[in-house]
Structure 1
Amino acid sequence: MSSEEQRAWIYAVVGLVVPAVYLTTVLSKVPGTDVATIPYVRPMLIATAVAIGASIVLSILVAIVAGMAAPKDVGKTDERDRAINRRGEYAGFYVMSIASIVPLGLAMAEVQHFWIANALYLAFVLAALTSAVVRIVAYRRG
Structure 2
Amino acid sequence: MSSEEKHSWIYAVVAVVVPLVYFAAVLSKVPGTDVATIGYVWPMLTAIGVGFAASIVLSIIAATVSPGEAGKTDVRDKEINRRGESVGFSVMSGAAIVPLGLAMAKIEQFWIANTLYLAFVLAALASSIVKIVAYRRGW
Counterparts of 1:56 and 1:31, CA distance in 2? 35
Counterparts of 2:50 and 2:104, CA distance in 1? 31
Equivalent pairs counted in the alignment come to 138
Letter in 2 for 1:21: V
Counterpart of 2:119 (choices 118, 123, 126) is: 123
Letter in 2 for 1:10: I
Residue 93 of structure 1 corresponds to 89
Output the TM-score relative to the length of structure 2: 0.98
Percent identity for Structure 1 against Structure 2: 70
- Give the deviation of 1:89 after TM superposition: 0.1
Shift >6 Å, 4+ stretches: none
- The answer as to 2:119 corresponding to 1:102 is no
Q: Any gaps of 5 or more consecutive residues in structure 1?
A: none
Residue 46 of structure 1 corresponds to 46
Counterparts of 2:99 and 2:25, CA distance in 1? 21
What is the RMSD of the two structures over their aligned residues, measured on CA atoms? 0.6
Output the TM-score relative to the length of structure 1: 0.96
Residue 74 of structure 1 corresponds to 70
